[in-house]
Structure 1
Amino acid sequence: MAERTDYEIFEIPEFTLECGTTLRPARLAYKTYGTLDADRSNAIVYPTWYSGRFWENEWLIGPGMALDPERWFIIVPNMFGNGLSSSPSNTPPPQDRARFPRINVRDNVEAQYRLVTEQFGIEHLALVTGWSMGAGQTYQWAVSHPDMVRRIAPFCGSSKTSLHNIVFLEGVKAALKADGAYQGGWYTEQPVGGLRAAARVYAGWGFSQAFYWNEVYRQLGFTSLEDFLVGFWEGFFLDGRDVNNLLCMADTWQQGDVGATPGFAGDVTRALASIRAKALIMPAEKDLYFPPEDERWAANHIPDAEVRVIPGVWGHFAGGGANPDDTRFIDEGIAELLAAEGAPLG
């Protein structure tokens, strides 16, 4: 798929990251849909996910949907490391490639906060929502800016990356680095062998056991398991994705933890309890990364939270827009949340 260029750049001249390094400048790529109301009350933030670009969020935006641009002003900020915002692949020396600094979820949210407030003058957000790492950013928004966010709808993601998830990501990182062409991150051509290997690691996790048992990949037009592994998974990783970028975002994912927000001293439950937003949390029934029991645990600590489990066999990719039934479930949940009274904010 050709990379799209219909997006804007918000530039922060000096942006000091949580790791202590300063990007000069930090560049946050974003795309907006709809028109901001005169009172700036209809804004929604919908962050991207691991390796995702803004256009890969568009399946949940459209006329007649919950995220209807005729009603809402939807901001899709691209994560640092995704190749559009500041990333290993597009930052000039000396912070290029293997020297690109570590990025935390809070770094992404802080840059997005500055975009929302400085570029648009927005004081309150009607909703923050997102899939996977976008869900992690959603939780972080509600913890970092509790007086700003009225509603949150994280789906197929978590407020703290589990140890099991960290182990999975170690497999992805090892596969990417195992290609001899990787050269410690100083490659001049993409380590294609590493990308293909990482795709095979990811394939066992993105969809559920039942998805494979029932050969549901045939609904996507693939004629055999190998056809799916090559056509879908290897195709996904080879679609404009860069190894250093993937490693950067994997590290960001592994660090995900709202409890590490300043003021909470590592206490996840206290951080979750500080959330003022009305929350609708939608894990997928057979998600191998973010199982429903983890999100039920999180919801128990949020003052105003409901959990609705996305049924079916699509696993983590129930939140990826590929299955119409799952898309309908998520869309209806968000529509209901937006119709409900949000948190009263100061």
Structure 2
Amino acid sequence: MGLQKGSLTSVFKEKVVSNHEVLELGDVVLQSGLTLRGAKLAYKTYGRLSAAKDNTIVYPTWYSGQHTENEWLIGSGMALDPEKYFIMVPNMFGNGLSSSPSNTPPPWDRARFPGVTVHDNVACQHRLMTEVFGIDRLRLVVGWSMGAQQTFEWAVAYPKMVECIAPFCGSARTSRHNFVFLEGVKAALTADAAFQGGWYERQPTKGLRAMARVYAGWGFSQAFYRERLDMEGMGFASLEDFLTGFWEGLFLPRDANNLLAMLWTWQHADISANRTYRGDFERALGAITAKALVMPGQTHLYFPPEDSQYEVAHMPNAELRIIPSVWGHCAGGPGLNPVDVKYIDEALKGLLLS
């Protein structure tokens, strides 16, 4: 039994989010050498920091998501229990809350927004942890999709700080095939004449709808569609109803330039793309000392289990646990299928007890 159609509005809603904090970072020099002017990192905390400052979990956001869209994995009695842990959800740059094309002042706004890497995101999150909260140990870093990419980066960039990681439905480096998939998504969005090279005065809705339809063939597996789970599991009246209501409904509230900024980050994700490892991916994986539980989706089309198997084989303290689901990428989130949510939550409980 999956998500009922009527609850979709609680998962994907208009991008007006309040009740969060913002760290003013000043001018941040990025990996590229460009500068993110007046950088802002939006974040939300759940629970209380212990006196010993030893109960922190970092849970970064995913592609297009904001902190409220991470809350499906946080709750009393769950692994990410705010009654036990201090849970930090930092918003990724480009998501509309942290510095993004849509909220950065001219002349660095919209199409001029600089490329921000996963490494840049995590470096700023590290400043939040250490400079604002005085935290030098993280019990767990966990994330779905691009949140998983940030999870891997945390373990590589700050190995002495991170005790455990649990990346699910993500990767330590974006594969060539994954890069190509995203090229198709990008091409659909930018083909809209209203896009105007990123200098649009109104959102390119035709492009956003086209992007959604391209993504629809990748977000769920062939088995998901074969079993008609869009109808029987999610309550849509037809396949067209699903493509419009779910997929177009997901992307239409988002800003096009923001989506492209995060897509750039995704395409350039690589834990070894830095001065320390200089592209030696296997050496970077071998430097992850945190206890790791890597959870790909069994039927994932662009973060396939084979990629995770390769990563785990080169990590010294890692376990591979495949999510047995036909929900593809969405086996990992954002809370669509209760069976998958339970599987992930139970796995995280076990990791935190180890």
TM-score category by the smaller chain? Answer: over 0.9
Question: Does the 8 A contact of 1:144 with 1:261 survive in 2?
Answer: no
Tell me how far apart the structure 2 counterparts of residues 121 and 51 of structure 1 sit (CA, whole Å): 29
Percent of aligned pairs with the same residue?
A: 63
Question: Does the 8 A contact of 1:48 with 1:130 survive in 2?
Answer: yes
Question: Does the 8 A contact of 1:9 with 1:28 survive in 2?
Answer: yes
Unaligned runs of 5+ in 1: 341-346
Match of 2:310 in 1: 297
Per-residue deviation, residues 144-192 of structure 1 (Å, max 9, x unmatched): 0000000000000000100000000000111110000000100011000
Tell me how far apart the structure 2 counterparts of residues 104 and 221 of structure 1 sit (CA, whole Å): 38
Residue pairs, 1:325-340, within 5 angstroms: 325-340=339-354
Tell me how far apart the structure 2 counterparts of residues 277 and 157 of structure 1 sit (CA, whole Å): 17
Tell me how far apart the structure 1 counterparts of residues 137 and 275 of structure 2 sit (CA, whole Å): 21
Tell me how far apart the structure 1 counterparts of residues 118 and 152 of structure 2 sit (CA, whole Å): 10
Q: CA deviation at 1:261?
A: 2.8
Give the 3-state SS of the residue equivalent to 1:76 in structure 2. strand
Match of 1:49 in 2: 62
Tell me how far apart the structure 2 counterparts of residues 290 and 14 of structure 1 sit (CA, whole Å): 34
Match of 1:344 in 2: none
Question: Is 1:35 paired with 2:48?
Answer: yes
Match of 1:235 in 2: 249
Structure 1 stretches of 4+ with a deviation exceeding 2 A read none
Aligned CA-pair RMSD: 0.7
Report the AA paired with residue 75 of structure 2. G
Report the AA paired with residue 210 of structure 1. A
Match of 1:343 in 2: none
Tell me how far apart the structure 1 counterparts of residues 344 and 176 of structure 2 sit (CA, whole Å): 27
Report the AA paired with residue 301 of structure 2. L
Give the 3-state SS of the residue equivalent to 2:40 in structure 1. strand
Tell me how far apart the structure 1 counterparts of residues 225 and 184 of structure 2 sit (CA, whole Å): 21
Per-residue deviation, residues 266-312 of structure 1 (Å, max 9, x unmatched): 00100010011000000000000111111011001111000110002
Match of 1:309 in 2: 322
Q: CA deviation at 1:24?
A: 2.5
Tell me how far apart the structure 1 counterparts of residues 302 and 71 of structure 2 sit (CA, whole Å): 23
Report the AA paired with residue 195 of structure 2. Y
Tell me how far apart the structure 2 counterparts of residues 24 and 257 of structure 1 sit (CA, whole Å): 24
Match of 2:112 in 1: 99
Per-residue deviation, residues 183-207 of structure 1 (Å, max 9, x unmatched): 0100011000000000000000000
Per-residue deviation, residues 60-97 of structure 1 (Å, max 9, x unmatched): 00000000000000000000000100000000001000
Match of 2:237 in 1: 223
Tell me how far apart the structure 2 counterparts of residues 119 and 201 of structure 1 sit (CA, whole Å): 41
Match of 2:156 in 1: 143
Among 168, 173, 177, which residue is 1:155 paired with? Answer: 168
Residue pairs, 1:1-346, within 5 angstroms: 1-2=13-14, 3-218=16-231, 219-239=233-253, 241-320=254-333, 321-340=335-354
Tell me how far apart the structure 1 counterparts of residues 249 and 37 of structure 2 sit (CA, whole Å): 34
Give the 3-state SS of the residue equivalent to 2:272 in structure 1. helix
Give the 3-state SS of the residue equivalent to 1:79 in structure 2. coil
Question: Does the 8 A contact of 1:207 with 1:313 survive in 2?
Answer: yes
Report the AA paired with residue 143 of structure 2. G
For structure 1, which segment, 117-126 or 257-266, has the greater mean C-alpha deviation from structure 2 after superposition?
Answer: 257-266
Q: Aligned pairs, how many?
A: 339
Tell me how far apart the structure 2 counterparts of residues 327 and 262 of structure 1 sit (CA, whole Å): 37
Unaligned runs of 5+ in 2: 1-12
Question: Does the 8 A contact of 1:282 with 1:309 survive in 2?
Answer: yes
Per-residue deviation, residues 185-240 of structure 1 (Å, max 9, x unmatched): 0001100000000000000000000000110011111011000000000000012x
Q: CA deviation at 1:19?
A: 1.2
Tell me how far apart the structure 1 counterparts of residues 290 and 72 of structure 2 sit (CA, whole Å): 25
Match of 2:3 in 1: none
